[in-house]
Amino acid sequence: MDLTVLGLLCSLLLYRILHMNQNGTGWVVAFLCESCFTFVWLFYTNITWSPAAHIPYPDRLDERVHDLPSVDLFVTTAYPVREPPVLVVNTVLSLLAVNYPANKLACYVSDDGCSPLTYFSLKEVSKFAKIWVPFCKKYNVKVRAPFRYFLNPVTATEDPEFAIEWEMTKREYEKLRQRVEDATEDSDWLNADNDFEAFSNTKPNDHSTIVKVKVIWENKGGVGDEKEVPHLVYISREKRPNYVHHYKAGAMNFMVRVSGLMTNAPYMLNLDCDMYANEAKVVRQAMCIFLQESVVPNNCAFVQFPQAFYDSNANGFNIFQSYTEQGDAGIQGPIYEGSGCFHTRRVMYGLSPSDLEDDGSLSSATTRRFLTQESLTREFGNSKEMVKSVAGALQRTSNPQNELTNSIVAAKEVGNFHYECQTSWGKTVGWLYGSIAEDKNTSIGIHSRGWTSSCISLNPPAFLGCMPLVGVEGFLQSRRWMTGGLEVLLNKQSPLIGIFHQKLRFRQRLVYLSSCMGSLASIPVILYCLLPAYCILHNSPLFPKVTLS
Ligand SMILES: O=c1ccn([C@@H]2O[C@H](COP(=O)(O)OP(=O)(O)O[C@H]3O[C@H](CO)[C@@H](O)[C@H](O)[C@H]3O)[C@@H](O)[C@H]2O)c(=O)[nH]1
Ligand SMILES: [Mn+2]
């Protein structure tokens, strides 16, 4: 089928070339536009050739692995109005309640808006989580974001004990929602509590680093039983006017550093604050990929779950996303999409597959090159604690920090706006700078080092979000994605550079090209639409003349 379409497209182009001399400008423009469409078609067809997806079996993982690895969960928020705290509350609750040992999880919320309301909401979350998490685990609740879960009422056939607990939990959730809503309208609570002092006289773009752990550091090294709640940490990095903060990529890198100082988990999940975990086993599912037993070394750098949205008008987008993700998965792996993705910490610290032995330990050459105090300070910044934590993560010997007071001081230090100066953060380490689409940019950096990635596509989707497809917000979002793509195309990691560089496979390069050049395809489309009118006005032929005999 593809070959037939390709044959037809090529014969059309050939026909245009052979008759170029007899026809005017319209014909030439049509030829150029049709050539572009053929390339676009080739790029997209390339994606469909070898679709793949992993099917995880979390129950088998439990039989095989008795000591699951720790995972740090990252949520970014930045705009308390566009991203209402009640959404953040639900995202965080859905993560705290996932079906995974609570003592192996820590949830970090980065607030680029420096909003006391967000912090207030998280404090409320930490109280309600003590009811919500045990409830979800006891009754094996599937969707663990309360605003979605409570949409369906209990049926009369349910167990009476469950019905009572359901009512009580719902009531508590409603109280939490009400308190957050009241706090949005009236800010008296701000002055009543000393805990909010750090927020006084701050502006979203002008404030010092804030790290709030004490109040909401719930899990005190527990054993991971059903009643336990994972750690929850609120952070807001230092911002100063007239200084480049690198949007979400800057926030992610700060979160990587703070989590490195506190829990230093080998895996990290990244979720936008408006996307909740829709599948309780999602962390186990990702671990099925990372902890695969295989004779070949596992070069999977990240596991991406396709982005899906619960707004009814996003169906077309959901289908397109899932289709391209599975198509890419059969090449070198799906592109990182910025949300719903599990990364390995060592890959984000800049390692390549060639730095590792078959058993996953660091090769001796890499140890010599990478693990000196001098080299680590140059790459990761001038904090002794950070250097120690990076060395531990690279060698897989990291122990979580137990002395919280020390790690808070160190965490504030790595949040200073000049901490990253002269280091490799954003260049080769962490989330990469240089494009507003930090996801594509970081993704191409990882694939170019030779790593692969995997896709788990499930129905119902593992994460669900909301997205503005219409109106000004929708336009601004599209513009961000399109300009971000062009920035990637023009920066030094561009898929156009080093075409025969084997670590980024040729077909994967085409995937990145189609993803970054999407906006440019609009030019031939507009020209082609205007062409018939132009040809009529100028009496210039656009299509072959048909003569009836
Ligand atoms: O300075 C900033 C800007 C944004 N964000 C957060 O980053 C996320 C994504 O930002 P948003 O403005 O909502 O972008 P979207 O277009 O909705 O997001 C898509 O596109 C982004 C850039 O390509 C990806 O990072 C996202 O994960 C992906 O969902 C949100 O959680 C924001 O709170 C920050 O933390 N700091
Ligand atoms: Mn968003």
Task: List, for residues 373-402, the tens digit of each pLDDT value.
Answer: 899 999 999 999 999 999 999 998 876 555
- Pick the last residue of a domain from 443, 458, 473: 473
**Is ligand 1 within 6 A of the CB of residue 118?**
no
Q: Is residue 14 part of a domain?
A: yes
Q: Is residue 406 part of a domain?
A: yes
Catalytic residue among 72, 111, 112, 355: 112
Q: Is residue 27 part of a domain?
A: yes
| Nearest protein CA to atom 33 of ligand 1, as residue | 77
Residues 295 and 226 in one domain: yes
Residues 90 and 188 in one domain: yes
Q: Residue with structure tokens 């790595």? A: 414
- Using the atom order of ligand 1, give the atom closest to the CA of residue 437: 23
| Nearest protein CA to atom 12 of ligand 1, as residue | 477
Distance 88 CA to ligand 1 centre (A): 13
Residues 360 and 423 in one domain: yes
Q: Is residue 286 part of a domain?
A: yes
pLDDT of 220: 53
**Is ligand 1 within 6 A of the CB of residue 338?**
yes
Ligand nearest to the CA of 476: 1
**Is ligand 1 within 6 A of the CB of residue 437?**
yes
Q: Is residue 174 part of a domain?
A: yes
Residues 67 and 21 in one domain: no
Residues 478 and 467 in one domain: no
Distance 504 CA to ligand 1 centre (A): 26
Residues 163 and 243 in one domain: yes
pLDDT of 549: 66
Supply the pTM of this predicted model.
0.93
Distance 111 CA to ligand 2 centre (A): 14
- Mean pLDDT of the region 515-519: 88
Judge whether 83 is annotated as a binding position.
yes
- Using the atom order of ligand 1, give the atom closest to the CA of residue 251: 35
DSSP-based three-state secondary structure for 488:
helix
In sequence order, what are the residues at sequence separation of 6 or more whose Cβ sits closer than 8 angstroms to the Cβ of residue 325? Answer: 53, 304, 306, 334, 335, 337, 455, 457
Q: Strand 71-77 relative to strand 267-272: parallel, antiparallel, unpaired?
A: parallel
Residues 440 and 308 in one domain: yes
Distance of CA 449 to the CA centre of its chain: 19
Distance CA 538, CA 530 (A): 13
- Residue predicted with more confidence, 224 or 339: 339
Distance 363 CA to ligand 2 centre (A): 40
pLDDT of 126: 93
Judge whether 72 is annotated as a binding position.
no
Residues 224 and 164 in one domain: yes
Residues 491 and 442 in one domain: no
Residues 463 and 493 in one domain: no
Distance 77 CA to ligand 1 centre (A): 8
Q: Is residue 548 part of a domain?
A: no
| Start-to-end CA span in the chain (Å) | 34
Is the Cβ–Cβ distance between 254 and 237 less than 8 Å? yes
Distance 251 CA to ligand 2 centre (A): 14
String of DSSP letters for 156-190 = TTS-HHHHHHHHHHHHHHHHHHHHHHHHHH--THH
- Using the atom order of ligand 1, give the atom closest to the CA of residue 467: 17
| Nearest protein CA to atom 19 of ligand 1, as residue | 338
pLDDT of 236: 95
Distance CA 314, CA 338 (A): 18
Distance CA 380, CA 371 (A): 11
Q: 454-491, pLDDT tens digit by residue? A: 999 888 899 999 876 677 888 888 889 899 999 999 98
Residues 149 and 89 in one domain: yes
Is the Cβ–Cβ distance between 409 and 258 less than 8 Å? no
In sequence order, what are the residues at sequence separation of 6 or more whose Cβ sits closer than 8 angstroms to the Cβ of residue 230? Answer: 73, 95, 96, 102, 103, 105, 106, 107, 218, 219
The torsion angle over the Cα atoms of residues 379, 481, 321 and 88, rounded to 10 degrees, is 70
pLDDT of 219: 52
Percentage with pLDDT > 90 across the chain: 62
| Residues comprising the chain, all counted | 549
Distance CA 532, CA 211 (A): 61
Count up the domains in the chain and report the number. Answer: 2
Assign 109 a pLDDT band (cuts: 50, 70, 90): very high
Q: 325-378, pLDDT tens digit by residue? A: 889 999 999 999 999 999 999 999 999 999 998 888 888 888 888 888 899 999
Token duo for residue 379: 């790459």
Q: What is the ipTM of this complex?
A: 0.97
pLDDT of 547: 74
**Is ligand 1 within 6 A of the CB of residue 78?**
yes
Q: Residue with structure tokens 């000591």? A: 67
On the 0-12 / 13-18 / 19+ scale of CB atoms within 10 A, 436 is buried
pLDDT of 354: 92
CATH number assigned to the domain comprising residue 133: 3.90.550.10
Q: Residue with structure tokens 């999602």? A: 282
Distance of CA 181 to the CA centre of its chain: 28
- Pick the last residue of a domain from 473, 498, 520: 473
Is the Cβ–Cβ distance between 419 and 209 less than 8 Å? no
Q: Residue with structure tokens 């599209």? A: 478
**Is ligand 1 within 6 A of the CB of residue 77?**
yes
- Pick the last residue of a domain from 473, 506, 522: 473
| Known catalytic residue at 439 | yes
pLDDT of 402: 57
| Known catalytic residue at 311 | no
| Nearest protein CA to atom 14 of ligand 1, as residue | 477
Assign 296 a pLDDT band (cuts: 50, 70, 90): low
Q: Tell me the residue range of the domain where 492 lies.
A: 2-50+474-538
Residues 488 and 462 in one domain: no
Q: Is residue 544 part of a domain?
A: no
User: Reading across the β-sheet that carries 300-304, which strands appear in turn?
Assistant: 210-212, 231-236, 105-111, 71-77, 267-272, 341-344, 300-304, 452-455
Is the Cβ–Cβ distance between 343 and 432 less than 8 Å? no
Judge whether 62 is annotated as a binding position.
no
Q: Is residue 549 part of a domain?
A: no
Distance CA 193, CA 73 (A): 28
